[in-house]
Amino acid sequence: MVEALLSGFGGGLVVSKLLDTVLPFGMTAQGKLFKRQAALQRELEKDREDFQERMEERRMRFQANLEAQRAELQKYLTERNIEANREIALFQARAMRRTQMMLAQENARNVLQDHLLQDALRTFPLNVSPLVLLHNQGHSPGHLLAFAESQQPDALTLCQAYEEVEAWRRRPEPLNIFVAPTHIDSKIKNRRALSDQIWDTVYQRIESFFTRHYSRTGSHPVIFYPTAWSDNSTPGMHAAETLHFFLKDLPCIVIEPRFDGSTFRLMFSAWGMGYNSTVHHRTELSFPVNIDIALATAAYERSRRALAALEEAERLLDPDETGFAEIKKTLTRNLDLYEALHIDDRIAQGRMDEVEALGIYNIFNIEPAHDLAGLAEKFASQIGLNLAVLADIHHLRCYDAAPLLPGLLKKEFPDFYKSRPLREALFNEYDRTYTWLRREEAEYDESGESRLIEAANIKKTLALTDEDEYAGSVAAMLSKYMADNFGQSRSTLEDNLSLAIELMRESDIAFFQRILEIDSVASNRTLYRRLNAKIFSLQNP
């Protein structure tokens, strides 16, 4: 093709010369190209070999570094393992020592608890075993044992809780009352006889009162232990501490009387009152009682009455035949000394110090069995009154039982009933409890009318308000209740009750049950029967 192209230009000479020039030139360029490619190939091969050497060197360095780190890690893990094993061994040793210490402490605690229980049983101040007391009232003595575990009660449904509360209300647990023997100051002569004479009477009076009015089968059960004190019990031994150790699960009151000749102190210990807690609360109630004045006055009155009886006998019989000459002489001496020492004036003026310095037993002929009877009656009344108030408040807070003492005060404690300040103080105690109940019930009874009516009933029973004031107060509370709960009210008590009978709901039963206790309602037999029938129909649909 090249030759054909060149032949077109004519002349072979030119072509041959041209071919001689071109062909050597082409062959020389190709050879240079091959040489260049070979040189480049050798450079690439050399670069590749250099790169491989560098990579191998880096790999070797990395491998050496990796081996060094692996060795370091192994060394670290070995050291940590040794340290961990050491810590585990140390912990196990410490745990073993702690376990041994805890076992020793637990054994010591069990031994101490056993000794404590045995010692408490040995010094228990009652003839009745504490285990029997707990068992008879349905309480477990488990808290007395060191290894006893507290059992958490299972969750109760609302119905079960309601049934339990109602069961407690129907069968209330009795309040236990213990009165320890009186501790009389050693400076008082014949203090043992004084204690015995007073306390026998006090026990009898209080036991009789609570047996008649606070029976253990009634709505306000109280168990009074008058003669349960054992020979181990001595006055002033703080029997409440031992009783609390055993009977902390029972509602209890323990009274420890103390008398120093001028002041009679009652140390009250209580726990479980109102079922708030088992904490042992302790307080003191004291009132002045001068034993010398009481004995001197009692000896004088006894001598005067006895002489009057002897004079009457001597009018019928020969004085020499009666055989009372010596007795009459002693009785007359009591009267003469009383008048000669102006005891009445000294008592009025507070000047008994000189007579007390002589000693009543050295001045008068004292007959403890007779001369201490009045003092014992006073003690019995004071103690019985306070215990009755505590029992009422306990059952009111626990079981919503209306107090009994206000209705018994005039008959059982006539001397106290005569004192208006005492009746007011008694009402204030109950009123504080009703105030507490109103606060507790504020969530569902904001006005608390039923509690106000109960308090008004007690105030009326204690003769602290007249009939008109009481009736007006009750009528006002009823009118307010009708307006707040039914949106309407009437002007009179009877009209409001008639309206209430038509509109009453089940939630109103508690309030109108209190209304039934009001004298003006109870005296209206027709209205009383209608209201009572309505309440019964709501309770038994």
pLDDT, one tens digit for every residue, the chain (541 residues): 445 444 444 444 554 554 455 445 555 677 778 888 888 888 888 888 888 888 888 888 888 888 888 888 888 888 888 888 887 877 777 777 777 777 776 776 676 667 677 777 777 777 777 777 777 776 766 666 654 444 445 555 667 666 666 666 677 888 888 887 777 777 776 677 677 777 778 888 888 899 999 988 888 899 888 666 666 666 555 678 878 888 888 888 888 888 887 788 888 888 888 766 677 888 888 878 777 788 888 888 888 888 888 877 777 766 565 567 778 888 888 888 888 888 888 888 877 777 777 777 778 888 877 877 888 888 888 888 989 999 999 888 888 888 999 999 999 998 889 898 999 999 999 989 888 888 877 766 655 677 877 888 888 888 887 666 666 677 777 777 778 778 887 777 777 778 877 888 887 777 777 777 676 676 677 777 887 788 878 877 7
Identify whether the C-beta of residue 462 lies closer than 8 Å to the C-beta of residue 406: yes
CA pair distance 400, 516, nearest whole angstrom: 16
Residues 289-300 pLDDT 10s: 777 788 888 888
CA pair distance 440, 420, nearest whole angstrom: 30
Q: How many CA atoms lie within 13 A of 170 on its CB side?
A: 6
Residues 121-157 pLDDT 10s: 777 777 777 777 777 776 766 666 654 444 445 555 6
Long-range contacts formed by 181-184: CB under 8 A, 24+ apart: 181/229, 181/233, 181/234, 181/235, 181/257, 182/235, 182/257, 182/258, 182/259, 183/235, 183/236, 183/256, 183/257, 183/258, 183/259, 184/235, 184/258, 184/259, 184/260
The burial class, CB within 10 Å (0-12 / 13-18 / 19+), for 301 is middle
The pTM of this model reads 0.65
